[in-house]
């Protein structure tokens, strides 16, 4: 039986003037820009971002909850429109954690996309498929349909009220991708490891001390300053003012370190994300940062450096290091392959070959013996830090590796090199043929070993992009020419 609500005939609705709803400002889905209302924001999405939210809802068949999750997913992780458009099932926003509002309030969560109206229009246009004998059955079905729609309306109303109520309350503290990232840099061990990396630390020190004229009387910004070591070197090389920014709790120790070395008059330290802090100056002359991660781009800290560059770097200013390149080589490390891949063929006498699928997708961070390298190296990405855009950090590149040592290829290895270009140029490499660094090398093991002969060319294509759900992780894809279907996907997390 359908649930009906009767109107009170004694109510004089004609005497009640409809209150004009106030328009709620709405933040853009893919930027911080504010719009007068939801409709204006959606029009901007179509015009500027080429993203039709309502059309996307329909294309993906998202229900009410799916729409809520998608909106909060975009609000929280700030993916590019194309990342959302290209998403495949299972969708990265399917997790119920995305039912919790990110913005408070967010009028987009209450926006009626009109899907129910369209469904009703479709119902009106539907052909009559029943005859007179089925009239009673049709009426029964219609009553059930009305009841179901009433329940759906009540459910939607309940969820909207719940979302509104939650958006008014202070959000509970939670650990997200960024929280755990900055928390990891609050521990002293990771800073000791970086400082003890002589290749890394001495390259920065030597560049600044051998190019003091670059730093004399300049304003320097140190992005992700950590213990403040680079800030202090810049100060001692003649900088007029050095501003260090870091969002991890190690900054409190850095403040004490700066005071201990009597550099507090020159070095100012600020705790917070570079994207959110306010600097005491309008422009800086130099940006220094040790932003590099595994496979160069892991952790996505370069995005923060580019943000600082675009917001505060003066015309003609410099960013150091200013050039980086990403390289590939092939290796024959049979023991490494057996330990991580071949191991699953015989585990205490049992075959667990299905585990290989998971093992293959996890890129290894390890120090590679130079004796295992069996090809020349190939550059797959060059980055000019003063010019590159954030969109260019997701890329695809062809590679060719010439075999110089015959043997069984067990995987490819990625490493990077960095340059500091001043009057005196300084550079360092994380190649297997150089002294190890704390970045080590990134190893992409193959599911099966390949026999290679001297002079042979390995050809393929490498794709690298930030993970959609966890932007500080990387998704890597390798395709090999001449091996149809031989596509391997890896994750650096």
Concatenating the DSSP letter of every residue in 388-420 gives: --GGGGSEEEEEEEEB-S-EEEEEEEEEEEEEE
**164 plus 186 within the same structural domain:** no
3-state DSSP call for residue 331?
strand
| Low-confidence spans in the chain with pLDDT less than 50 | 1-20, 115-133, 164-176, 186
349-356 contact pairs (CB < 8 A, 24+): 356/447
pLDDT tens, residue by residue, 61-110: 888 888 998 998 898 888 888 888 888 778 888 888 788 888 878 889 88
**393 plus 357 within the same structural domain:** yes
Measured in whole angstroms, the distance separating CA 220 from the mean position of its chain's CA atoms is 27
pLDDT tens, residue by residue, 29-68: 988 778 889 998 999 899 988 999 999 999 888 888 889 9
| Active site annotation includes 290 | yes
Reference 167, options 278, 46, 24; nearest CA is 24
Distance CA 307, CA 355 (A): 41
Q: Where are the alpha helices (DSSP H) in 169-216?
A: 177-184, 188-195, 198-210, 212-215
16 located within any domain = no
Indicate which residue of 290, 362, 392, 417 is catalytic.
290
Distance CA 413, CA 394 (A): 19
Three-point CA angle 130, 136, 142, nearest 5°: 80
Distance CA 187, CA 454 (A): 47
**371 plus 472 within the same structural domain:** yes
345 located within any domain = yes
CB 234 within 8 Å of CB 208: yes
- Work out whether the CA dihedral 83, 88, 94, 97 comes out positive or negative: negative
**56 plus 154 within the same structural domain:** yes
465 located within any domain = yes
| Active site annotation includes 299 | yes
- 222 forms beta bridges with 244, 288
**45 plus 150 within the same structural domain:** yes
**204 plus 233 within the same structural domain:** yes
**158 plus 195 within the same structural domain:** no
**345 plus 488 within the same structural domain:** yes
Task: Give yes or no for a cis peptide into 149 (omega within 30° of 0).
Answer: no
CATH code at position 343: 2.70.160.11
Distance CA 53, CA 303 (A): 26
CATH code at position 204: 3.40.50.150
Measured in whole angstroms, the distance separating CA 476 from the mean position of its chain's CA atoms is 13
State residue 146's pLDDT score: 55
DSSP characters over 275-325 = TT---SSS-EEEEE----BTTBTTT-HHHHHHHHHHHHEEEEEEEES-EEE
CB 1 within 8 Å of CB 145: no
Which of 290, 305, 333 finishes a domain?
290
Q: How far is CA 122 from CA 125, 126, 238, 353, in A?
A: 5, 6, 73, 51
DSSP characters over 122-152 = HHHHS-----GGGHHHHHHHHHHHHHHHHHH
296 located within any domain = no
What tokens does 302 get?
Answer: 């370069």
CB 362 within 8 Å of CB 492: no
CB 24 within 8 Å of CB 105: yes
What tokens does 196 get?
Answer: 């003890």
131 located within any domain = no
- Work out whether the CA dihedral 63, 69, 74, 80 comes out positive or negative: negative
State residue 126's pLDDT score: 43
194 located within any domain = yes
**271 plus 385 within the same structural domain:** no
**421 plus 455 within the same structural domain:** yes
**83 plus 220 within the same structural domain:** no
406 located within any domain = yes
State residue 123's pLDDT score: 45
3-state DSSP call for residue 58?
helix
State residue 159's pLDDT score: 53
What is the domain count for the chain? 3
Residue 157's domain comprises 22-123+136-168
Which of 290, 314, 346 finishes a domain?
290
- What number of CA atoms fall less than 13 Å from residue 459's CA on the CB side? 6
Reference 360, options 461, 275, 262, 476; nearest CA is 476
SS percent in the chain: helix, strand, coil, step 5: 40, 25, 40
Reference 289, options 385, 179, 389, 388; nearest CA is 385
**164 plus 188 within the same structural domain:** no
State residue 141's pLDDT score: 57
Which of 168, 190, 225 finishes a domain?
168
CB 218 within 8 Å of CB 240: yes
412 located within any domain = yes
Q: How far is CA 30 from CA 43, 126, 309, 343, in A?
A: 13, 38, 20, 45
State residue 65's pLDDT score: 85
Indicate which residue of 256, 276, 299, 459 is catalytic.
299
What tokens does 467 get?
Answer: 């993970």
């Amino acid at each position: 039986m359908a649930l009906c609500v009767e109107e009170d005939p004694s109510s004089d609705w004609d005497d009640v003037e409809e209150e004009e709803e106030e328009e709620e400002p709405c933040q853009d889905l893919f930027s911080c820009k504010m719009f007068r209302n939801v409709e204006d924001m959606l029009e901007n999405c179509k015009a500027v971002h080429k993203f039709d939210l309502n059309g996307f809802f329909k294309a993906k068949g998202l229900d009410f909850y799916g729409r809520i999750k998608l909106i909060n997913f975009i609000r929280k992780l700030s993916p590019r429109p194309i990342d959302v458009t290209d998403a495949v099932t299972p969708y990265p926003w399917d997790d119920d954690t995305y039912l919790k509002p990110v913005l408070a309030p967010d009028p987009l969560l209450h926006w009626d996309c009109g899907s129910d109206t369209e469904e009703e229009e479709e119902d009106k246009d539907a052909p009559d498929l029943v005859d007179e004998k089925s009239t009673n059955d049709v009426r029964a079905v219609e009553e059930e349909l009305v009841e179901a729609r009433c329940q759906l309306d009540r459910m939607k109303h309940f969820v909207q009220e719940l979302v509104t109520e939650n958006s008014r309350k202070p959000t509970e503290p939670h650990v997200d991708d960024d929280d755990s990232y900055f928390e990891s840099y609050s521990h002293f061990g990771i800073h000791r490891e970086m400082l003890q990396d002589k290749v890394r630390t001495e390259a920065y020190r030597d560049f600044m001390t051998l190019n003091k004229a670059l730093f004399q009387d300049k304003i320097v910004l140190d992005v992700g300053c950590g213990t403040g070591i680079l800030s202090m070197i810049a100060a001692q090389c003649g900088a007029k003012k050095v501003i260090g920014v870091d969002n991890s709790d190690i900054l409190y120790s850095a403040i004490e370190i700066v005071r201990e070395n009597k550099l507090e008059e020159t070095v100012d330290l600020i705790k917070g994300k570079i994207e959110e802090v306010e600097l005491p100056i309008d422009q800086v002359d130099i940006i220094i940062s040790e932003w590099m991660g595994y496979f160069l781009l892991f952790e996505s800290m370069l995005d923060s450096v580019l943000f600082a560059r675009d917001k505060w770097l003066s015309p003609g200013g410099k960013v150091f290091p200013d050039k980086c390149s990403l390289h590939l080589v092939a290796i024959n490390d049979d023991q490494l392959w057996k330990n991580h891949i071949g191991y699953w063929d015989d585990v205490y006498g049992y075959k667990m070959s299905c585990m290989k699928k998971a093992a293959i997708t996890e890129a290894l961070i390890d120090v590679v013996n130079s004796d295992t390298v069996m090809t020349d190296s190939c550059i797959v990405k060059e980055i000019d830090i003063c010019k590159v855009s954030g969109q260019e950090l997701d890329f695809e590149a062809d590679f060719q590796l010439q075999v110089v040592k015959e043997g069984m290829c067990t995987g490819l290895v990625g490493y990077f090199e960095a340059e500091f270009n001043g009057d005196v140029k300084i550079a360092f490499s994380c190649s297997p043929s150089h002294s190890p660094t704390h970045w080590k090398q990134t190893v992409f093991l193959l599911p099966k070993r390949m026999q290679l002969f001297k002079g042979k060319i390995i050809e393929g294509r490498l794709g690298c992009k930030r993970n959609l759900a966890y932007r500080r992780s990387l998704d890597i894809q390798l395709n090999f020419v001449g091996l149809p279907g031989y596509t391997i996907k890896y994750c650096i997390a």
